[in-house]
């Protein structure tokens, strides 16, 4: 078996309703970004190894000179991957809405079931790439009114998360730590509260950890908290061996999800023996 | 202006002609003219007076 791949028997055990976001079903709980790969060919191989069926893309100006180069869509089968256009690099609600509309136009006629999806980012500053909560709330409200299915990048602040859901976000996506920082889940307790608030009376509401993943254990840790999915990019694309890391992320997502569903044992301060106390050799004396 | 750069546009030209001149005919692009998205179906008919701010965008890798 390929290292990091998941056996058929495991998948049978794991059978559960797939992740549904805004009425669209995703087979994988990993959403993978398409940025920062050395080549589009490497990106395509990593996406396959990750098991994902939903990938983020950015909207950028087309080159006007030498424009007849490769396009990412030459390397992404839109019938296989749900494309999730982002508003990365936007620092105001107005900018984000403009980019979201251009992304929706690019999705038009591609036959996507998720033709109105946007991964909304309204950033606060370039140093932290932390979300601007005021701009994010404003853009969410306007995009929902404009018919978008909004998957929104936010901080792990439970109050902001709840407000975003109230405004109609299809999925709230709290950051584990800053984008591309590789610091993993910095505040698991905030994520737990986000989950409690967002899933109160609505257990299937999708909560996806977006950003901060550095390595496979970060994905497993997030999934063990009970989040519905994890969105990552840099941790695969910038790994020393991206393809191997993509396989590791797939396995970690699977492991974390199953561990969550299985229910971990409580933490205890003192030991509890695994072997029986009765019949110990020393007790024969 | 196209993508923030001054571009000589044929007077009365269409968006299709702008794309062709840039080597982008038939490529997956979206176009905004003065802040409004123009649907692909309108590229052939949308004539430019000159002086418009045009954005031609596509998907690239991103997270």
Angle (nearest 5°) at CA A238 between A235 and A244: 75
- Contact flag A102-B37 (C-beta cutoff 8 Å): yes
Interface residue ranges in chain B relative to chain A, Cβ cutoff 8 Å: 2-5, 7, 22-24, 27-32, 35, 37, 39-40, 55-63
Question: Active-site residue numbers of A?
Answer: 119
* pLDDT at A282 (0 to 100): 80
DSSP 8-state code for residue A248? H
Q: A-side interface with B, Cβ within 8 Å?
A: 33-37, 40, 43, 56-62, 64, 66-68, 71-73, 83, 85-86, 88, 98, 101-103, 105-106, 108-109, 179-180, 211, 231-234
Quote the CA–CA distance of B62 and B60 in Å, as a whole number: 6
Convert the pLDDT of each residue in A236-279 to its tens digit: 999 999 999 999 999 999 999 999 999 999 999 999 999 998 99
Distance CA A58, CA A212 (A): 18
Give A185-188 contacts, CB < 8 A, sequence gap 24+. A185/A209, A185/A212, A185/A218, A185/A221, A185/A222, A185/A225, A186/A156, A186/A212, A187/A156, A188/A221, A188/A225
- CB-CB: which of B2, B22, B58 is closest to A106? B58
- Under-50 pLDDT residues of chain A: 1-3
Q: Do A101 and B56 touch (CB under 8 A)?
A: no
Q: Are A52 and A31 in contact (CB under 8 A)?
A: yes
- Cα gap A254→A30, rounded to integer Å: 9
Mutation target to probe the B interface, by most B beta carbons within 10 A, among A62, A77, A112, A208 is A62
Closest residue on chain B to A39 (Cα): B61
What tokens appear for A74 in the block?
């030459």
CB–CB contact A98 B5 (8 Å): no
Interface predicted TM-score (ipTM) of this complex, two decimals? 0.94
Lookup: tokens for A183: 């610091």
- Averaged over B28-35, what is the pLDDT? 96
- pLDDT at residue number A2: 47
| Cα of B12 to nearest chain A Cα, Å | 20
Q: What are the structure tokens assigned to A244, written together?
A: 């191997």
Interatomic CA distance for residues A166 and A185, integer angstroms: 25
Nearest to B5 among A64, A68, A102 (CB): A64
């Amino acid at each position: 078996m390929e290292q990091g791949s998941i056996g058929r028997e495991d998948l049978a055990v794991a059978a559960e309703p797939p992740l549904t976001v805004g009425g669209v079903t995703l087979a994988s709980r990993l959403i993978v970004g398409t940025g920062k790969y050395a080549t589009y060919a490497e990106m395509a191989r990593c996406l396959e190894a990750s098991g994902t069926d939903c990938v983020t893309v950015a909207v950028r100006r087309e080159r006007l000179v030498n424009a007849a180069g490769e396009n990412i869509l030459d390397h992404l089968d839109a019938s296989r991957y749900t494309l999730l256009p982002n508003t990365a690099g936007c620092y105001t609600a107005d900018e984000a809405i403009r980019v979201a509309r251009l992304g929706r136009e690019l999705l038009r006629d591609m036959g996507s079931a998720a033709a109105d999806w946007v991964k909304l980012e309204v950033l606060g500053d370039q140093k932290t790439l932390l979300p601007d909560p005021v701009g994010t709330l404003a853009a969410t409200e306007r995009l929902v009114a404009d018919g978008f299915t909004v998957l929104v990048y936010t901080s792990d602040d439970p109050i902001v998360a709840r407000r975003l859901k109230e405004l109609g976000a299809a999925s709230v996506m709290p950051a584990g730590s800053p984008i591309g920082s590789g610091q993993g889940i910095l505040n698991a307790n905030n994520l737990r509260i986000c989950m409690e608030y967002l899933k109160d009376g609505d257990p299937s509401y999708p909560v996806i950890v977006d950003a901060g993943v550095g390595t496979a254990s970060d994905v497993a840790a997030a999934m063990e908290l009970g989040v519905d999915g994890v969105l990552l990019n840099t941790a695969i694309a910038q790994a020393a061996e991206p393809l191997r890391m993509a396989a590791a992320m797939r396995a970690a997502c699977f492991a974390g999800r199953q561990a969550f569903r299985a229910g971990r044992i409580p933490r205890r301060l003192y030991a509890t023996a695994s072997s029986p106390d009765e019949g110990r050799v020393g007790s024969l004396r | 202006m196209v993508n923030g750069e001054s571009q000589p546009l044929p007077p009365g030209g269409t968006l299709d002609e702008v794309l062709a001149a840039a080597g982008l005919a038939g490529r997956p692009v979206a176009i905004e003219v003065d802040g409004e998205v123009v649907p692909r179906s309108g590229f052939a008919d949308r004539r430019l007076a000159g002086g418009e701010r045009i954005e031609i965008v596509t998907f690239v890798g991103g997270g």
